[in-house]
Amino acid sequence: MMKLVRTLASTFVAMTLAAAVHAQVPAKPQVVLLATGGTIAGAGASAANSATYQAAKVPVDKLIAGVPELAQVAAVRGEQVFQIASESFTNEHLLTLGKRVAALARQPEVDGIVITHGTDTLEETAFFLGLTVRTDKPVVVVGSMRPSTALSADGTLNLLNAVTVASSKDSRGKGVLVVMNDEIHSGRDVSKSINIKTEAFKSAWGPLGMVVEGRTYWFRAPVKRHTLTSEFDIEAIKALPQVDIAYGYGNASDVAQRAFVAKGAKALIHAGTGNGSVAAPVVPALRELRAQGVQIIRSARVVGGGFVLRNAEQPDDQYDWVVSHDLNPQKARILAMVALANGSDSKSLQRVFMEY
Ligand code: DAS
**Residue 44: what pLDDT?**
84
Q: 205: domain CATH number?
A: 3.40.50.1170
CA distance 53 to 67: 21
3 lies in some domain: no
Ligand 1 atom index nearest CA of 88: 4
Question: Could you report the per-residue pLDDT of 155-173, keeping only the tens digit for each?
Answer: 999 999 999 999 999 999 9
pLDDT of the residue at 15: 65
My answer on whether 75 and 221 are in the same domain is yes
Residues 186 and 47 in one domain: yes
Q: What is the pLDDT of residues 45-94, one digit of tens each?
A: 888 888 888 888 899 999 999 999 999 999 999 999 999 999 999 999 99
The response to whether residue 200 sits with its C-beta less than 6 Å from ligand 1 reads no
Could you tell me how many helices (H) and strands (E) the chain has, helices first?
A: 11, 14
Residue 343 lies in a domain: yes
- Binding positions for substrate are 86, 119-120
Domain final position from 170, 205, 229: 229
| Residue 11 domain flag | no
Residues 89 and 194 in one domain: yes
Residue 22 domain-assigned (yes or no): no
Do 253 and 183 have their domain in common? no
Least confident of 12-16, 59-63, 151-155, 227-231: 12-16
Catalytic residues: 39, 119
For 243-298, the pLDDT digits (tens) are: 999 999 999 999 999 999 999 999 999 999 999 999 999 999 999 999 999 999 99
Is 34 found in the same domain as 146? yes
Binding positions: 86, 119-120
Distances (CA, A) of 346 to 49, 273, 329, 335: 48, 22, 17, 13
Distance 224 CA to ligand 1 centre (A): 28
Using an 8 Å Cβ cutoff, are 111 and 74 in contact?
A: yes
pLDDT of residue 53: 84
Whether residues 132 and 195 fall in one domain: yes
Whether the pLDDT of residue 20 is over 60: the answer is: no
For the Cβ of 155 lying below 6 angstroms from any atom of ligand 1, the answer is: no
| pLDDT reported for residue 10 | 72
Q: Give the DSSP per-residue string, 77-93.
A: EEEEEEEE-GGG--HHH
Lowest mean pLDDT segment, chosen from 10-19, 135-144, 172-181: 10-19
Torsion angle (degrees, nearest 10) of CA 319, 231, 330, 347: 0
Residue nearest to atom 8 of ligand 1 (CA): 118
85 lines ligand 1 (CB under 6 A): yes
Q: Which domain, by its residues, includes 74?
A: 30-229
Mean pLDDT for all residues in the chain: 94
What's the pLDDT score for residue 240?
98
Domain boundary residue, one of 229, 259, 291: 229
Question: What pairs with residue 77 in β-bridges?
Answer: 32
Quick one: 336 and 208 in the same domain?
Answer: no
Mean pLDDT of 210-238: 98
Instruction: Please tell me the distance from the alpha carbon of residue 355 to that of residue 340, in angstroms, as a whole number.
Output: 15
- Shared domain for 223 and 246, answered yes or no, is no
- What separation in Å is there between the alpha carbon of 120 and the centre of ligand 1? 5
Residue 29 CA to residue 160 CA, distance in Å, equals 14
The CA 40 to ligand 1 mean position distance, Å, reads 8
Please say which residue of 173, 196, 229 terminates a domain.
Answer: 229
Ligand 1 closest atom vs CA 85: 4
Query: Per-residue pLDDT for 224 more than 60?
Result: yes
Full strand arrangement of the beta sheet holding 322-323: 243-247, 267-272, 295-300, 322-323
Least trusted range by pLDDT, from 4-8, 175-179, 180-184: 4-8
- DSSP, res 263: T
Residues 172 and 98 in one domain: yes
* Residue 313: CATH number of its domain: 3.40.50.40
- Residue 21 lies inside a defined structural domain of this protein: no
Q: Are strands 243-247 and 139-142 parallel, antiparallel or unpaired?
A: unpaired
Q: CA-CA distance, 38 to 213, in Å (whole number)?
A: 25
pLDDT at position 148 is 87
* Number of structural domains in the chain: 2
Spatial distance between the Cα atoms of 70 and 97, rounded to a whole number of angstroms: 23
Write the residue with the smallest CA distance to atom 9 of ligand 1.
118
Residue among 287, 63, 305, 22 nearest 163 (CA): 63
Summarised one tens digit per residue, pLDDT across range 305-321 is: 899 999 999 999 999 99
Asked if residue 163 belongs to a domain, the reply is yes
Q: Is residue 133 part of a domain?
A: yes
Q: Given this model, what pLDDT does residue 16 score?
A: 63
Q: How confident is the model at residue 105 (pLDDT cuts 50, 70, 90)?
A: very high
Please indicate whether residue 197, judged by its CB atom, sits closer than 6 Å to ligand 1.
no
Dist. CA 191–CA 215, nearest whole Å: 24
User: 98 and 225 share a domain?
Assistant: yes
Share of the chain above pLDDT 90, in %: 85
More confident residue, 129 or 55: 129
Q: Flag whether 25 is in a domain.
A: no
* pTM of the predicted protein model: 0.93
Ligand 1 geometric centre to CA of 79 (Å): 19
Residue 210 reports pLDDT greater than 80? yes
Residues 222 and 350 in one domain: no
Q: Are residues 42 and 99 in the same domain?
A: yes
**Ligand 1 atom 1: the closest Cα is on which residue?**
85
Banded pLDDT at 212 (limits 50, 70, 90)? very high
Question: In the prediction, which pLDDT does 303 show?
Answer: 83
Residue type, position 217, single letter: Y
